[in-house]
Chains A and B, each alone.
Chain A
């Protein structure tokens, strides 16, 4: 009780990652202009599908997780998020480092999602606005309501060159997933190099297995 309340008040890093995954779906036939309306529809559609999976009492935790990954993965673009997070370090990474990083980041993100299913299941959301911010991105604003006070969550949705829409960032009470992860990964790279980051991610993946 109390714990869920505190989490609702200020979901931090883990929450960001997991929440970020919630909207990383692609609406297959949405080929309109990168309009705010299409972005809003994406967040609304995927959000409701996610909640209906989480609330299906006939499913085990494992089944919920698998269905979520299925829903969000097929056309998921975790790679785009991963590259945005790495930012300028992507340029200097070798082919091998890039491939390893994308693979390890995916494991990192999926693990975070898996550990937070219960938290998300008890929440609901409403869309409070949507607006285009440039020629390819729109921001959809939502309020996530759980046990505690409502939390303001913004989703940044991008229209890709093939006109598919993908969510590229989630901003919880002003804290951006991309900024946070970029800053943290950057700090590890500055101190230990790109290989240091990779071995750190690898160490985590192995300690879970």
Chain B
């Protein structure tokens, strides 16, 4: 389901680029549970361990800071910060929109940047949104690679950074090259920006994540599938997912023809064919 089509063809591409991750994979692959393959998570034991560390750090550090941040700032300030950070990421978004050959989005991104920077107090006010521009889309080099058919590779839980995969991890590094601020600003500014961004995003998801903690039976697996689906949605720019396979099992027939042990191969459609 997670990009089976293209991942096989392109495996060699990310494999060469993501040398450290690839080495880690080779080393850990042997221990991977064979049954996890449809989740494409051969490193699951390693990933689960990293997840536990990240989750611990979140509880003792990131979440408390996000709550302090929420208590100390009014919503309007946080919205302004969100807008400002999004505006700062314009060069990266624009570069990738261009690389993806998306002229309309490139134009919108550039237009919004000028509008918000000049009329929106340096980006704190989303003037573009006020005059009816469509919602911002994030673009990054991981998405650009995906658009050109590079598969994600196996799921990776990165220390501190969270859910990812070799393709997107490489993308993050490449995106630094598109970011003038990364070269121009002194290191403390870069760290500060990353810190604010992390806390700001965490604040926006306080309730969402609590809800997830309450409702999920396996938090690691819930985060894995949500990260993957949200990422796929970003890559498709919100277009509908091609999910047909999951609806194709005719469950009403399963009762009669159930063949225990057989993988789910959808039975041929009965009766009336495609219209």
On A, residues with C-beta under 8 Å from B are: 1-3, 5-7, 9-15, 17, 80, 83-84, 87-88, 90-92, 112, 133-135, 137, 139, 149, 152, 154, 156, 158, 161, 168-169, 171, 173-176, 178-180, 182-188, 190-191, 197, 200-201, 204
With the chains together, A132 CA to B230 CA distance in Å? 24
List A contacts of B269 (CB < 8 A).
135
Min CB gap A165→B, angstroms: 14
Interface majority SS (helix, strand, loop, mixed), chain A: helix
Tell which of B33, B230, B261, B275 touches A173, judged by Cβ atoms closer than 8 Å: B230
Type the 1/0 row for B37-59, where 1 means its CB is closer than 8 Å to any CB of A.
Answer: 01100000000000000000000
Contact between chains at B222 and A3 (CB < 8 Å): no
Which bracket fits the contact residues of B? Answer: 35 or more
Min CB gap B167→A, angstroms: 18
Q: A10-B205, A14-B214, A91-B254 are in contact. Are A184 and B225 (CB under 8 A)?
A: yes
With the chains together, A3 CA to B236 CA distance in Å? 28
Min CB gap B63→A, angstroms: 13
Tell which of B217, B229, B252, B262 touches A174, judged by Cβ atoms closer than 8 Å: B229
Contact between chains at B274 and A134 (CB < 8 Å): yes
A-B pairs under 8 A by CB, number: 145
Contact between chains at B233 and A183 (CB < 8 Å): no
Interface majority SS (helix, strand, loop, mixed), chain B: helix
Contact between chains at B221 and A174 (CB < 8 Å): no
| Chain A, residue nearest B234 (CB) | A174
**Chain A to chain B contacts (Cβ below 8 Å), 5 pairs:** A173-B230, A176-B241, A183-B222, A183-B224, A188-B218
List A contacts of B263 (CB < 8 A).
88
